[in-house]
């Protein structure tokens, strides 16, 4: 059933109830009038037909009055009910439960005080005082319960000591966990530098990236501007970024998506892209993938997760241990006499002792020492004699 149709049905029922209430008021008024006539004119006997006509007349009159105002009253009541419903719906569950507990506690105190007032006898004063106490203490208990929800619930519930149940590891449990992880994998935002770098495409093809890859529209716009640059190097980078984006979409268009957004102004566009990415990440809780060290520092300051592909590449570099042998091409002479310098496939520099005479040759070296410096990783080795 559609919401509008459902609301119309509720409004119709409410109007019927209001009309019936008007008929009831008319009947009660007719009974009161006849009772007053019998009280003050006991010798006057009201004919049965006239009594019935009085009942019917007042019932119809007040029923018509209630029906005439039922539309406005029903609209007001539905609006009030809707505001109350939205108010309670906006409360967190713990706060709502604690507020209800506080309301019940306030009403119980009001009932106990009402019993005390009854010893004074039944009068208009005691009735008014009991009503005021009920409303005041109920509202007071509700306010206290809502404000101190955590304290009240912690008093009512014993301290929980949850114990994680360790299930046996089976093929079925692994398959279920893998499917669940595939469903809940968080999407990631891509910045221009990650697309220009290109290594993201290899990671995606190898299956190391779960979830959706989101490319905001302003990132695509930034790539177009770089591709249209007068500088040939920047133009080549921009086109490479667009090519990588197109290749990602061809691999899986359902997981690589463009997020439509407003275009950015012409001035300070680079800084605006970073700021917009951080704002979008904060609003969506999606981490950012980048190759920009400055963006990573901004994310760290703003407490936003930024994944740097350069850091990933450094972490994935092979570990070289002392005593290990490998083939290396000695490229040039070292800074110290007799040294030669070569590089591994990942670009790590190797200082070869007594390798000056092997410049331009591929030799087998044995690692003697491996150092991690501020500028990167450095390996010291000597030409193997075996």
214: domain CATH number?
3.40.50.1010
How many structural domains is the chain composed of?
3
Provide the 3-class DSSP secondary structure of residue 365: strand
* Mean pLDDT in residue range 40-55: 70
Residue 224 and residue 145 share a domain: no
The answer to whether residue 168 is domain-embedded is: no
333 vs 116: which has the higher pLDDT:
333
User: 3-state SS of 154-208?
Assistant: HHHCCCCCCCCCCCCCCHHHHHHHHHHHHHHCCCEEECHHHHHHCHHHHHHHHCC
Pairing of strands 306-308, 213-216: unpaired
Write out pLDDT tens, residues 77-118: 878 877 877 777 766 777 777 778 877 888 888 888 877 777
- Among 150, 171, 195, residue at a domain's last position: 150
pLDDT recorded at residue 357? 83
The answer to whether residue 155 is domain-embedded is: no
Residue 290 DSSP label:
E
Residue 339 and residue 234 share a domain: no
Spatial CA neighbour of 349 closest among 20, 256, 249, 335: 335
Structure token pair of residue 14: 């409410």
162 vs 232: which has the higher pLDDT:
232
Write out pLDDT tens, residues 129-157: 777 878 787 778 777 777 776 666 666 66
Write out pLDDT tens, residues 206-230: 888 877 888 888 889 999 999 998 9
pLDDT(369) > 90: no
String of DSSP letters for 27-53 = HHHHHHHHHHHHHH-TTPPPPHHHHHH
pLDDT recorded at residue 180? 60
Residue 343 and residue 305 share a domain: no
Residue 299 and residue 206 share a domain: yes
Residue 112 and residue 25 share a domain: yes
CATH number of the domain that 346 lies in?
A: 2.40.50.110
Structure token pair of residue 296: 């990573």
Residue 190 contacts residue 258 (beta carbons within 8 Å) = no
The answer to whether residue 166 is domain-embedded is: no
Query: Of 40-54, 58-72, 192-206, where does mean pLDDT reach its minimum?
Result: 40-54
**Average model confidence (pLDDT) for the chain?**
78
* Cα 51 to Cα 57: distance, rounded to the nearest angstrom: 10
Residue 379 and residue 286 share a domain: no
Residue 261 φ then ψ, to 5°: -155, 175
Residue 229 and residue 120 share a domain: no
* Cα 104 to Cα 323: distance, rounded to the nearest angstrom: 77
Residue 32 and residue 91 share a domain: yes
Residue 350 and residue 288 share a domain: no
The answer to whether residue 292 is domain-embedded is: yes
The answer to whether residue 306 is domain-embedded is: yes
pLDDT grade, residue 1 (50/70/90)? very low
The answer to whether residue 320 is domain-embedded is: no
Residue 214 and residue 329 share a domain: no
Residue 344 and residue 213 share a domain: no
pLDDT recorded at residue 289? 92
pLDDT recorded at residue 192? 92
In degrees to the nearest 10, what's the CA dihedral of 104, 108, 109, 114? 140
Residue 125 and residue 243 share a domain: no
The answer to whether residue 175 is domain-embedded is: no
Write out pLDDT tens, residues 243-290: 999 998 888 877 888 887 654 444 444 447 888 888 888 888 888 999
What does pTM read for this prediction? Answer: 0.47
Q: Containing domain of residue 335, as a range? A: 325-383
pLDDT grade, residue 5 (50/70/90)? low
The answer to whether residue 319 is domain-embedded is: no
pLDDT grade, residue 239 (50/70/90)? very high
* Cα 275 to Cα 281: distance, rounded to the nearest angstrom: 10
């Amino acid at each position: 059933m559609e919401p509008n149709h459902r609301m119309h049905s509720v409004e119709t029922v409410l109007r019927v109830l209001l009309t019936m209430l008007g008929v009831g008021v008319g009947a009660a008024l007719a009974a009161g009038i006849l009772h007053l006539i019998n009280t003050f004119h006991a010798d006057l006997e009201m004919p049965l037909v006239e009594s019935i006509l009085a009942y019917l007349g007042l019932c119809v009159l007040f029923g018509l009055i209630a029906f005439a105002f039922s539309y406005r009253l029903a609209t007001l009541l539905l609006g009030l009910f809707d505001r109350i419903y939205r108010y309670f719906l906006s409360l967190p569950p713990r706060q709502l439960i604690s507020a209800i507990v506080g309301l019940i506690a306030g009403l119980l105190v009001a009932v106990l005080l009402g019993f005390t007032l009854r010893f004074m006898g039944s009068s208009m004063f005691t009735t008014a005082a009991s009503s005021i106490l009920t409303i005041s203490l109920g509202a007071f208990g509700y306010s206290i319960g809502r404000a101190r929800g955590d304290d009240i619930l912690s008093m009512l519930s014993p301290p929980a000591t949850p114990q994680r149940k360790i299930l046996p590891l089976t093929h079925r449990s692994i398959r279920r966990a893998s499917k669940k992880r595939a469903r809940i994998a968080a999407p990631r935002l891509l910045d221009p530098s990650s697309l220009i770098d290109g290594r993201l495409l290899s990671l995606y093809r190898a299956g190391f990236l779960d979830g959706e890859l989101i490319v905001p529209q302003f990132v695509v716009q930034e790539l177009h501007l770089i591709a249209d640059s007068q500088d040939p190097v920047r133009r080549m980078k921009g086109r490479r970024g667009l090519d990588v984006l197109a290749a990602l979409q061809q691999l899986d268009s359902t997981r690589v998506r463009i997020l439509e957004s407003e275009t950015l102004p012409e001035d300070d566009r680079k800084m605006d892209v970073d700021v917009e990415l951080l704002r979008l990440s904060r609003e969506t809780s999606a981490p950012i993938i980048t190759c920009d060290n400055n963006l990573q520092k901004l994310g760290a300051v703003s407490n936003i997760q930024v994944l740097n592909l350069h850091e990933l590449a450094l972490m994935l570099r092979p570990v070289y241990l002392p005593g290990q042998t490998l083939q290396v091409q000695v490229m040039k002479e070292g800074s110290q006499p007799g040294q030669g310098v070569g590089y591994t496939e990942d670009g790590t520099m190797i200082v070869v002792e007594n390798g000056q005479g092997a410049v331009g040759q591929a030799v087998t070296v044995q690692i003697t020492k491996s150092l991690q410096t501020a500028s990167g990783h450095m390996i010291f080795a000597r030409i193997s004699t075996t």
